[in-house]
């Protein structure tokens, strides 16, 4: 048999169910709380904000498998199953005994994994009779996915795009508009939340936390309008498990099983997606894979944040979420990995980290771009700045395998390509990029105000 580079599934192999890890966790994630009453949030408490089925998925801790609606699965066929690729050329460049695989989620029309959750979110809202949606986006990966998903299921969409990304990545704004969405730079004057932060900090470049506040506020004030979130929440992680479920079958085709699984980490969507299906075999004791969440050193909630109840947005419109957080007022540095500029981690990953079932590592911006360029020059694909965090971590693991002279099977998620992030590569190649440090004092200060 000839040497295989890619491991491909057919459309018939697209999973028919998502995997709900909370049903099988020994220590369940703590519930979200109502900020006023401190009572646990129930599905119906979320109905004003989210479609009913999404609200039920959010609090479901009993069913390990949730059916994927046929209409969503049909749309998944536009780009799924995605390839699993052996990074043979990267291995050669590193001269490592490690086998490196990546799941290539960059093949969606907008270039990232985000469509995996955008499609079901639009679908369930359409079912409920929702006509308008609002959402936020950092680098624009989620906003573009949501724009196409909304168009597909016939919904209107308004996207609050973090201002620094709106300026750094204008093509993602164009993409959203081409798919028919309305795009507003955040903070904006269109909401109370936006007006307040613009007034308090006139040069504020925005954050995901602020954009979420604005999107929620607009949704609450608009008839027949709901809100959609691209990460952090349990139902988003649920939809993203399609990544790992496919990867599991593909690793079988490759006749290997990962010793390490790696994803970059913003709020948790792609890390959860690649990890949870493999993690379930750790929870039964059958496997002993390591899972590494790779976060930016400038926004280190997992490695240096505190586990506590916190708001998911800057203004405090969301329920309280049990999570590792830097504080909901944390203003991350303007790194190019805009999708990772979020103060908190989803409650499932937070619980898994507390229980030692997953690990986290923090990577500085320059190391991530160095890894990104090496990956581009060997494997061809220019990775998104977010995904370079996973690649840098995979390279560290591969180098360690070389030092130890050990074979090791590494799997990482290539969450997206960077074709629309080329200004970041320009800056890197010109030597104009820097690392952004955050001091313990800064973190303590924001958390003290929480």
Where do contacts with its own copies occur on this chain (CB under 8 A)?
2-6, 8, 10-12, 74, 77-79, 89, 107-111, 148, 151-152, 170-171, 174-175, 177-180, 373, 376-377, 379-382, 417, 419-420, 422-423, 425-426, 429
Q: Smallest distance, Å, CB 79 to its own copies?
A: 7
Q: Which is nearer to its own copies, 197 or 371 (CB)?
A: 371
Question: Of how many residues is the chain composed?
Answer: 450
Distance (Å, whole) CA 9 – CA 297: 36
Contact assessment for residue 413 and residue 243, using Cβ atoms and an 8 Å cutoff: yes
Contacts of 101 (CB under 8 A, 6+ apart): 84, 85, 86, 87, 251, 254, 256, 258, 409, 410, 411, 412
Which residue's CB is nearer to its own copies, number 111 or number 138?
111
| Tokens found for residue 361 | 């590592």
CB of 8 to its own copies, least distance (A): 6
For its own copies, the closer CB: 16 or 199: 16
Q: Which is nearer to its own copies, 107 or 233 (CB)?
A: 107
Residue 419 CB, nearest approach to its own copies (Å) = 5
Q: Please, are residues 388 and 371 in contact by the beta-carbon 8 Å criterion?
A: yes
* Residue (19 or 425) nearer to its own copies, CB: 425
User: SS3 sequence, 274-292?
Assistant: HHHHHHHHHHCCCCCCEEE
Nearer to its own copies, 16 or 27 (CB): 16
**Cβ closer to its own copies: 328 or 336?**
336
Q: What is the nearest approach in angstroms of its own copies to the Cβ of residue 407?
A: 23
Q: Are strands 6-7 and 84-86 parallel, antiparallel or unpaired?
A: antiparallel
**Residue 83 half-sphere exposure, CB side, CA atoms within 13 Å?**
12
**Helices assigned H by DSSP within 222-364:** 234-253, 269-283, 301-304, 347-354
**Minimum CB–partner distance for residue 77 and its own copies (Å):** 4
Q: Which residues contact 8 (CB under 8 A, 6 or more apart)?
A: 81, 83, 84, 250
**Minimum CB distance to its own copies, residue 109 (Å):** 4
Question: What distance in Å separates the CA atoms of residue 296 and residue 305, rounded to the nearest whole number?
Answer: 12
Nearer Cβ to its own copies (178/199): 178
Q: Cα–Cα distance between 392 and 34 in angstroms, integer?
A: 39
- Residue 312 CB, nearest approach to its own copies (Å): 29
Q: How far is the CB of 151 from its own copies (least distance, A)?
A: 5
- 318 vs 326: CA distance, rounded Å: 16
């Amino acid at each position: 048999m000839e040497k295989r580079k890619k491991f491909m599934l057919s459309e018939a192999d697209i999973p028919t169910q998502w995997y709900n890890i909370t049903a099988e966790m020994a220590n369940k994630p703590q519930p979200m709380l109502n900020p006023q009453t401190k009572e646990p949030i129930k599905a119906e408490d979320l109905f004003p904000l989210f479609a009913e089925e999404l609200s039920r998925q959010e609090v479901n801790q009993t069913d390990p498998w949730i059916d994927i609606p046929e209409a969503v699965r049909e749309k998944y066929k536009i780009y799924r199953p995605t390839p699993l690729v052996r990074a043979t050329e990267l291995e050669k460049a590193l001269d490592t005994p490690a086998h490196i695989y990546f799941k290539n989620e960059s093949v969606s029309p907008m270039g990232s994994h985000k469509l995996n959750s955008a499609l079901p979110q639009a679908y369930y809202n359409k079912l409920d009779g929702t006509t308008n949606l609002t959402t936020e986006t950092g680098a624009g990966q989620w906003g573009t996915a949501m724009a196409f998903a909304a168009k597909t299921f016939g919904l209107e969409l308004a996207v609050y795009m973090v201002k620094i990304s709106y300026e750094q990545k204008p093509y993602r704004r164009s993409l959203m508009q081409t798919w028919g969405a309305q795009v507003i730079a955040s903070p904006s004057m269109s909401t109370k939340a936006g007006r307040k932060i613009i007034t308090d900090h006139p040069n504020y470049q925005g954050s995901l936390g602020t954009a979420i506040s604005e999107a929620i506020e607009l949704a609450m004030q608009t008839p027949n309008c709901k809100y959609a979130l691209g990460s952090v929440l349990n139902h988003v992680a649920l939809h993203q498990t399609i990544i790992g479920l496919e990867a599991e079958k593909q690793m079988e085709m490759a006749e290997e099983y990962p010793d390490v699984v790696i994803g970059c980490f913003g709020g948790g969507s792609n890390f959860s997606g690649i990890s949870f299906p493999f993690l379930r075999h750790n929870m039964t004791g059958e496997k002993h894979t390591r899972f590494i969440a790779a976060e930016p050193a400038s926004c280190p909630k997992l490695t240096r944040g505190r586990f506590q109840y916190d708001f998911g947005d800057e203004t405090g419109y969301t329920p309280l979420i049990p999570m590792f957080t830097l504080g909901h007022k944390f203003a991350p540095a303007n790194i190019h990995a805009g999708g990772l500029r979020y103060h908190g981690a989803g409650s499932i990953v937070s619980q898994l980290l507390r229980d030692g079932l997953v690990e986290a590592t923090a990577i500085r911006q320059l190391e991530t771009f160095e890894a990104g360029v090496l990956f581009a020059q060997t494997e061809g694909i220019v990775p998104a700045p977010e995904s370079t965090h996973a690649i840098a971590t995979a390279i560290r693991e591969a180098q360690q395998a070389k030092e130890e002279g050990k074979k090791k099977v590494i799997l990482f998620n290539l969450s997206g390509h960077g074709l629309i992030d080329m200004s970041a590569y320009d800056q890197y190649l010109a030597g104009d990029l820097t690392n952004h440090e955050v001091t313990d004092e800064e973190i303590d200060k924001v958390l003290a105000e929480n």
